[in-house]
Amino acid sequence: MRMQDKFFNKRNLFIIGCVLLVVVGITGFTIKKGTKEPSMRITHGNLVYEVNAALYTRISSSFPDSKPVMDDYQASERITLDERVISDFELKEWQESKLDGDLPAREWLVKGVYEDNGLKLAKNLKLTAYDDFPGLIAVEVEYVNLSEKDMFIEEWRNGNYNIVPQGDQPPFWAFQGSSSSRRSDWIKPLEPGYYQKNYMGMNDSDYGGGIPVTSVWRPDLNVAVGHLSLVPELVNLPTELLEDSKVSIGISKEFDERTLFKAGDTLSTLETFVSIARGDYYENLANYSELMQAKGIEIVEPEEAAFEPIWCAWGYGREFTMEEVINTLPKVKDLGIDWAVLDDGFQVAEGDWQPAADRFPDGEDAVENLVETIHDHGLKAKIWWTPLAADPHSKSLKNVPGMKIRLENGAPQFITWWDAYYLSPTKEKTIEHTKDLLDLFLNKWKFDGLKMDGQHMNAVAPDHSLEKPEESVKGLPDFFHMIYEEAREINPDAVVENCPCGTVMSYYNMATTNQTVSSDPLSSWQIRHKGKTYKALVPNTAYYGDHVELSDNGNDFASSFGIGAVLGTKFTVPSSTANEEAAEFILTEDKETIWKKWFSLYNEKMLSKEEYLGNLYDIGYDKPEAHAVKKQDRLYFAFYADSWEGEIELRGLENNTEYLILDYFNQVDYEKVIASDPYIDVAFKDFILLEATPVKK
C-alpha cells in the first residue's frame, strides 16, 4: 500500500477540517481562526503540542508557573535531499482517531506538501498520545517523493528543538545515552560550546550502543526526546549548547552512502517521542521505559541472590594463584559477603575458555574443586566471561569457522581491548558455541552465576557476511536473551550480570540481565548517577556498585549504600606469593574494621531491594546532592558533598506524621520533623546517611 493511502484510509477516522473541536479527556484540539497560520493544539498531561500551517511545531508546558520552553514554532522534522534541507510544508488536511486495545491512545494524522522547482514532496505526520503516558507525544513521519525524478537522501531529523534557558548557571543539565571510549559521565552540566553527537552505533572500535534518549533540564522543567523502536537503531541524538545558551536536541538518521529516493517511493522515519516533566531526567526516563515495556520489551524479574554482597578475585589480577583465591575465602565469609567471583586470567584465551595450565595444572578438575571449595565456605561462585570475543589464534575460531563479524571491506571487526575479534551474535554457529560454554560453566563446573564483562558487549557493527548486515545490530539483544534463558534453564537461580565496562549499557540488553552494575566507574559520582539511571529504567534491578576500590579514595561505600546499590569489593589478603598488583588492595586491620561495618550495615538494611524515590530530588540543581529510598514506612536519605554545613530538606514525608531522624552510620539523633517543616541543620564531609522513622501514636 502506498504511504499516503496507509496514513489516510483507516477505520474510525474522521476529517476535522477547519472546525473547532474540543476533545474531552487526555487531549485538547483547537483550530485558530482568523490567522494566517491555522494550527492544531494537543494537550496531553502537562505537555502542550502545537502544529502550524507549515507543519512546524511548538511545545510548551501547562505546569503551574511554567516558563516558556521555546521562542516560537520550529522545524521539528526535516529531511535533506540532494543537499537541500526541506522543512516547510503546506498543511493540507488532518484526521483524528481513537485507538483501542492494550495501548489505547488518540492519534492525529496530518498531511502537508512541499513543492518548488520541480520537486514535490508529501509529508505525513502521525502524532500519538498514549492514554497511560501523559506528558509524552509519539511522532512518526513518512515522506513521499511525488516528483518525477529520483533524488538522494542524506538525512532525516525528528524532535529537533531549541530549548530556551532561564538564566540559571549552568543553563542546562543533560542526560545523554551514548557510549564511547572516553567513558564520560552520563549526566553533566552543559557549558558554552558543548556538543555531543550521541551516535547509537559504534563510536570507537570497542564502544557503541546505549539508551536512545536525550533529556535536558532547567530547574523548572525537563524535556526528553528519543526513539521507540523495539530494537537498536543506528541513529544520532545530538546535544548542543548554542551561543545564546539555548540547548539543541533531536534524533537524526544519516545516510552515509548515497541512498536513492526514487520517484513515487516512501521513506519512513522511526517512531520518536518528546516528553516533558518536572525535576531532573528520572521521570522522563522512567516513562520511556514503561512505554517501551507496554510496546513489547520484556524485562526479567529480579533474582534474590543478585542482591547479596560480592567479593571478586580481580584484586589479584590475571596472575592470581589458586592458593590466593582459596586463602581469601574465610575472610570473605567473615565479612558477611555471599559471592566469590573468579575473574579474568583463568582461561587459555578469549574464546578458548578451558582452564589455563599455569593457573589450574589439574585442568577442569581443579576448577570444579575450586567451585566446591567456595560452596563449602557457604558462598556462591560466579565466573568471569567475555561473550562475543575470540582471540585471533584461539582454537574456537579454527574449530568453528564463520563466527566472526565481517565489515564492509571484508575485514573482521576487532576488539582492541582484548586483542580479539567480534563474534556475530545472530549466526547459528555463534549461538551454538555459546550454549556449549554455558553448559560448561553452569552445568559441568557448577558456577552459580555469570559475570559477563567487556565494553564490546554493548553493540556490534553491521555484519556484511549476512544478507542483511544490520541484522547483527538489531539481533544483539536476542543473543543476550538466549544467554539468560539458557543459564536459567540450567540453574533456575542463576545470576546473570552484564558489565559493559564504562559504557552506557544498551537499554535493549538490560531486559535480560538480573544484575546491572556501575561497570568500571571513574568516580563515586558515576556510581551514583548510573544507579539513578538504572533504577529509572528497571526499578527492581539489583544494581551493583562494583568494587568499592573503584570509588573515590577506594573506600566510598556510602555512594553505593545510600542509593540502594549492592556492595562489592576486591580486597586481597597477605599471601606467600609475590603478587605486586595484589599489594594495593590488601585488607589491613584498619580497613577490615571499616569493611566489616559497611557489609554488616548493608545486610541489616538491604536498601538495594527497596523502592528508590528518584523523583524527589534534582541530581543536578539540588544542593547538596540527595537520594532517597523507601523501606516499608521508613525513609532513608543520603546526602553527598565535599563539605556541607547548613539546612537540608527531607522530602517525601507523609503529612500529619512526625518522624524520628537518625544518622544511622554514626548513630547520631536529630530533632523530630514533620512534612510541613521537613528541614534540619547538619554538618558533614563527603556524606550523611539518615533514617526517618514515623513516630507511632
Contact predicate 445/368, CB 8 Å: yes
Residues 520 and 496 placed together within one structural domain of the fold: yes
As a whole-number percent, the residues of the chain with pLDDT over 70 amount to 94
pLDDT recorded at residue 21:
33
Is it true that the peptide bond before 694 is cis, omega within 30 degrees of 0? Answer: no
Of 576, 567, 511, which Cα lies nearest the Cα of 543?
Answer: 567
Give the integer Cα–Cα distance in Å for 524 and 529: 9
Least confident of 12-16, 367-371, 418-422: 12-16
What integer pLDDT is reported at residue 578 of this predicted model?
67
For residue 461, what is the DSSP state?
Answer: -
Instruction: Between 462 and 36, name the one with better pLDDT.
Output: 462
The mean pLDDT of the chain is: 93
* Per-residue model confidence (pLDDT) at position 37: 53
Mark whether 171 and 203 lie in a shared domain: yes
Which helix H or strand E contains 331, and what residues bound it?
helix 322-334
218-232 confidence digits (pLDDT tens) = 999 999 999 999 999
| Interval 31-85: pLDDT, tens | 443 334 557 999 999 999 999 999 999 999 999 988 999 999 999 999 999 999 9
* Final residue of a structural domain among 264, 295, 326: 295
Q: For residues 139 and 238, state if they share a domain.
A: yes
Residue 577 pLDDT class (50, 70, 90 cuts) = low
Q: What are phi and psi of 425, to 5 degrees?
A: -75, -20
pLDDT category, 612, cuts 50, 70, 90? very high
Does residue 82 form part of some domain? yes
Reply yes or no on whether the pLDDT at 16 is more than 60. Answer: no
Distance from C-alpha of 584 to C-alpha of 343, rounded to nearest angstrom? 17
pLDDT in tens, 363-374: 999 999 999 999
Per-residue pLDDT band for 24 (boundaries 50, 70, 90) equals very low
Same domain, 41 and 181: yes
Q: At which of 609, 633, 651 does a domain end?
A: 609
Amino acid 575: pLDDT: 76
Which tens digits make up the pLDDT trace of 286-326? 999 999 999 999 999 999 999 999 999 999 999 999 999 99
Which residue reads 521508613 in cell numbers? 634
Position 434 in a domain: yes
pLDDT at residue 5 in the model: 40
Give the sign of the dihedral formed by CA 198, CA 201, CA 207, CA 211: positive
Predicted confidence (pLDDT) per residue in 148-200, tens digit: 999 999 999 999 999 999 988 999 999 999 999 999 999 999 999 999 999 99
Has residue 236 been placed in a domain?
yes
Provide the residue type at 103 as one letter.
L
The domain tally of the chain equals 3
Query: The domain that contains 527 carries what CATH number?
Result: 3.20.20.70
Q: Say whether both 178 and 273 belong to one domain.
A: yes
Q: State residue 32's pLDDT score.
A: 45
**Mean of the pLDDT values across residues 15-35?**
37
Long-range contact set of residues 290-295: C-beta below 8 Å, sequence gap at least 24: 290/133, 291/130, 291/133, 291/136, 291/228, 292/228, 292/230, 292/507, 294/102, 294/103, 294/130, 294/132, 294/133, 295/103, 295/228, 295/230
The answer on 544 and 640 residing in a single domain is no
- The yes-or-no verdict on residue 22 having pLDDT over 80 is no
Say yes or no: 483 and 586 in one domain: yes
| Residue at which a domain ends, from 550, 580, 609 | 609
Q: Tell me the pLDDT tens digit for each residue of 252-288.
A: 999 977 799 999 999 999 999 999 999 999 999 999 9
Q: Is residue 685 part of a domain?
A: yes
**Residue 492 structural domain:** 305-387+429-460+468-609
Strands 679-694 and 634-649: antiparallel
**Which pLDDT value is given to residue 258?**
78
Q: What is the pLDDT of residue 138?
A: 98
Beta bridge partners of 612: 629
Residue 412 lies in a domain: no
User: What average pLDDT does this structure show over 204-213?
Assistant: 96
Residue 462, preceding peptide bond in cis (omega within 30° of 0) = no
The answer to whether residue 419 is domain-embedded is no
- Same domain for 82 and 44: yes
Phi, psi of 33 (to 5 degrees): -95, 160
Looking at the fold, whether 228 and 364 belong to one and the same domain comes out as no
User: Which among 216, 215, 211, 254 is positioned nearest to 236, based on CA atoms?
Assistant: 254
Question: Looking at the domain assignment, is residue 314 inside a domain?
Answer: yes
3-state secondary structure of 566: strand
Residues 241-258: tens digit of each pLDDT: 999 999 999 999 999 777
Give the CATH number, domain containing residue 678. Answer: 2.60.40.1180
3-state SS, 151-206, equals EEEEEEEEEEEEECCCCCCCCCEEEEEECCCCCCCCEEECCCCCEECCECCECCCC
Look up the CATH number of the domain holding residue 270.
2.70.98.60
If asked whether residues 136 and 264 sit together in one domain, one would say yes
Same domain, 574 and 522: yes
Assess whether 598 and 687 both reside in one domain. no
Q: Does residue 300 lie within any of the structural domains?
A: no
